Chains A and B, each alone.
Chain A
Amino acid sequence: MTATTVATAALELRDLDVVYRVRGYDRQVLRGVSFEIGRGESYGLVGESGCGKSTAALAIVRYLPRNGRVSAGSINVAGIDALALGGGSLRQFHARSVSMVYQNPGAALNPSMRVGAQVAEAFTVLGVAKSEAAERARAALARVQIADPDSVMNRYPHQLSGGMQQRAVIAMALAKDPALLILDEPTTGLDATVEAEVLDLVAQLQSELHTSVLFISHNLGVISKMCTRVGVLYAGRLVEEGPVETVLQDPRHPYTVGLLRCIPRGGVRKDHGRLDTIPGFLPSLGAEISGCVFADRCALADERCRTDEPPLFDIRAAHASRCWYHERAQELPRVEAADLELPPIDSTRPPLLELTDLTKVFRQRGHDVHALTDVSVSIWPGETVGLVGESGSGKTTLARTLLGIVEPTAGTATLDGRELPSRYQKRSKTDLRALQIVFQNPDSALNRRHSVQRILLRSLKKLAGVGGSAADQRMSELAQRVRLTERTLTQKPVQLSGGLKQRVAIARAFAGDPQLVVCDEPTSALDVSVQAAILNLLVELQAEKQVSYLFISHDLGVVRYISDRIAVLYLGRLQELGPADVVFDGPHHPYTEALLSAVPTIDGGGRDRIKLEGDIPSAASPPSGCVFHTRCPRFLGDICVEQEPPLVEAEPGHLMRCHIPIEELRRLQAKETADA
């Protein structure tokens, strides 16, 4: 789709500069950003955190924080000069012209108001009579595919799942039939399966209503699925813009090229292909930049890039890049050249860790919640087992049980042949040092009052039993191994970027040379370029130390990249377990199949989406028979309702829990791939 003419554009930004005033200085956050969104068009804005995506959205709806202001440029929404509005006209603008959907629907809804009343409010604001508003709200909820609008209207937001909440928010946003709908990371907090449903819904509504959409995301896969054109933002500057397929397949700015190379995809695995990273850091907020904003981190940059700001070069129709060397942007040298030598896993040896029939039942308000049921997994030395499943599937409970934070109701864990006491308090020093964890959120995982040095020295003392000058020596080695500079050691976590914090957390886990490290979503709070560096580090440490990982992630691309074998959990039951390639390439368990097809990919195409209906059932009353039968796309009939299928070795090394024979699954799935 090409940009439509100025007169009909839903959004027109011209040379927009936004500054934030921090400690008495104006810091520039957006630098001359210009783009247009035609009527009915869906435009994506991507970039890593701190690039100014959300600032752009806030500037458009005139919600910049008090210390922020538009210092130059213009914003036109459907012909209205948004910057000229004030008082009543600004209110009218908010009420009628623009809508915004935020990342966290739980925070966007009023917790003390019933959903129906809130949605109805979106109509009464427009002047609809109270009596009619309820009816309109019901219709709006039905339009966002809420199956039972009447019961949903009577509930409070906390009684709805994240996906349902986001639907209600979207229903409110669309109430006014806005000239421009802004979606700011609308699915980032949701499970892949729910994300897929919400994205499908937005795509469908957009095609029905011809709403113009500004879609903000850090996820290129989502942008590729949802948008026709995309703009890449870096340090407040639009560095590349064009049709989605063109930009993703033929990027012409080194930043876009680097960003795409960071993402594990297309079946790349840790042993034959390291992820590329983007060296260096984003310029600090409001830095004075004379040349190209990306020059400092660009391997192609020369003197001209550092002194002269490149103009926006037109490469072909509607595709433009702000790079002097756009014609050879794809020749950007790789940062990670050498592949790693990973020693093969010797499965004839006894496994390092053996979990046998691990079961956990929580008592909650008089109900038994079956968080884990008979989970048996073994991990060999130097092996990575990926653990996937939607939230509520028991991934975290499994990790916490293994670490001894949660006591299992039944089942055992043995490490190196010796049985582990069920609680960490009773475990020996050797066991504690052997099992460590890297948490998802490094802000929460590091004590913000302690310096990096203090954190590492204490871990060395407790886990490796070294103190004094020997500890200093070990700390330097440890810091070097995870690529922390000397300067970082004296700093406190708050002074570090997310990636550096995660390196500190990894160093802490490795202080006592662990045998198995649980990685609980270690990269999901990080930007893709940082994620790539952290994944590389974990693989390097594995090659060097023969450490095993239990790697939990909802990002299937990441899991595939790092794992040797993959375990799929659903409602606390192991549904499938097998070598990573086999689990991904099929034949898959129907649940795995649904998970895989829910992921929006950059490469586009792929399989047709298998829809999972509804939310994951409550673990307090799991369905009879096969627990997955209520949502299974390949539901057979009574047998699935009545009998729980056993976990059987369907082919060597590939375990599956399904009534459908593996050959039948292979046939069904191959047929659909061929049809697609």
Chain B
Amino acid sequence: MAVTNLPATKTMNSQAQSTQTLTGAQIFLSCLMAEGVDTIFGMPGGVILSIYEALPEFPLKHVLVRHEQGAAHMAEGYARATGRPGVCIATSGPGATNLVTGLADAYYDSVPIVAFTGNVPSSLLGNDAFQEADIVGITRPVTKHNIIVRRVEDLAQAIKEAFHVATTGRPGPVLVDMPKDVLLASTEFDYANTEIDLPGYQVPQTYTEQDLETVLQLLEQAERPVLLSGGGVISGNAHEEVRAFAERFNLPVASSLMGLGGFSPNNPQYIGFCGMHGQYWANIAIANADLLIVAGNRLGDRQTGRPDRFARNAKIVHIDLDPSTLQKNVEAFLPIQGELKRVFQDLLNKTENMERFRHSLETRAAWYQTIDSWKTRRKPESFPDGVLSPQYVIERLFHWMPKDGFVTTEVGQHQMWAAQRFNLDRPRSFISSGGLGTMGFGFPAAIGVQAAFPDKTVLDIAGDGSFQMTLQELATARDHGLPVKVAIINNGYLGMVRQWQDKMWNRAPQARMTSPDYTKLAEAYGGVGFVVTHPDEVDEVIQKAYAITDRPVIIDFRVREKADVYPWVPAGGSNDEMLTEDEK
């Protein structure tokens, strides 16, 4: 621990040699070291200068961002790719408020990030001081926990609690606000003996033996079961147990957007991505299932469509760590609250002898045949010859992607096309903004991933609308030699907005938008830019871009303007009423 090497003013505990007197800024950085943090994403400012003054004493990598929203998304990308908490830091006032979108994004997608903000000196709080903001008040609804530290003596405990809360139970963002005087004051520091005092914070495990037995009884009777694998399978590191369970019962497995990569798309039992823009056959399978086991998915509206029609022929077993998710949007026949890894391991332990399930297993071949028949009933999307279609571009980006690469997305049409086509088969390899739907997320998130895995290929699939929200982070990527690839699916529109406006009102006011010359933009920031206008150029440019390893790359794919995402469930419709391309 770095604490022993610090320029402490004096050692207070001569016996244990573990207590030192440090400033708040030193305590902050020492806590990060003790929590295993290696990278922080942030921007300095007036009230946190004491931290930046002390930073060179600590072996922490600091990624200087161009906007604090980027810092929060980078921390998210880092956390989603590694499974470890991401850390970001901002100064008071606008620095802090700029974090809000990233915190909300992490909240709705259950991402463990810890955000630190400075604030004005305690004596000025409430005085409308320069760059004062009640950031704890502002972020209360979009954080799992937040706190303003009023005394330097409480700082280490607050930070220890922040990491504990962010990373345990259902993960989520935590914010710690530190007034300037707290960072400048000194006190004794002994992290190992700093205790967490959160008696109300518990991670319950309420499922019973009877719950598990009921699941098995339902599986005995099921002839058309489906398992829906959600983001909780990934964040709970339960993918191995879920795979083993699905294989033991030969269950068809569908995935939510957040669950992509949690169950291998190369597994023959995988039936695809489901929800509003999910694969037709996956949605129809869920609509016709007689048993739906939902693992780590909150059954949000983009997942279920009309909730009273969702899986209406099925008994639903909903397994989730978060009790508040159960019976919230969809009424389950059997809600089970507990850690997914434990629940599925317990189910596996109880089913080493599969004799009682013989009848159900004998029906599975017919069920798979039925699902296969839905795959062939619909025509695949067709693309005009010679025109650069966004779907084709994304298919080729995936084709050339190294198998150990990562992909992030922005939000919009390109995100759905990527979810349908980017079949990476590792957890934490497909990183997207699901709950909040944050345009501008993908590029800074990709920088966070690249900072954690500097030698891997990291691709951001972007829209021209989304990329223009956070493109200033090109400078961050360039400064740190992070070779993120940005594939802009450039259709000259806010594509999803245009699609909805076209479908609902037969016109699309204000969805048309211009872009800068992305090749020049990349070069201006010290990166490399390509432009692609014809299908014949796609493969060569992608290979060139993937080969660049020392600077950011932009590929401007000038795709046809009015391609639509299919399948598509109109607002308020049920998933089995989805429109496919041959019904548009």
**Bind each other:** no
Give chain B's interface residues, CB within 8 Å of chain A.
none
Give chain A's interface residues, CB within 8 Å of chain B.
none
